[in-house]
Amino acid sequence: MSNTNSWNSQRTILLVITLALLAWGIYHAAGAYFGGFGNENLQHDFRRSLVVLGFMVLFLGGWWWLMLSAKTKDSRTDRRQ
């Protein structure tokens, strides 16, 4: 039963980290859209924000894929298989 509670707490922590990274990516995508230093470079180009969001989603998707496809510790150390 403690193994299930441990997994639920780990899953909650990973979900919080994922949401925080997604919020961070959205923040940087908004900065890329409104970007520029001063009034000289005030170009609102949505493609820059799409690039930032695309790479953030690609990173998070790869991260989750690696975590979900990884074997558990018990199955990696069990030599009877």
> What was the pLDDT predicted at 31?
87
Domain boundaries, the chain: 2-70
CA–CA dist 64, 68 (Å, integer): 6
Cα radius of gyration rounded to whole Å, the chain? 19
> What was the pLDDT predicted at 73?
62
pLDDT single digits (tens) 31-65: 888 876 666 666 777 888 899 999 999 999 999 89
Give residues with Cβ within 8 angstroms of 75, minimum separation 6.
81
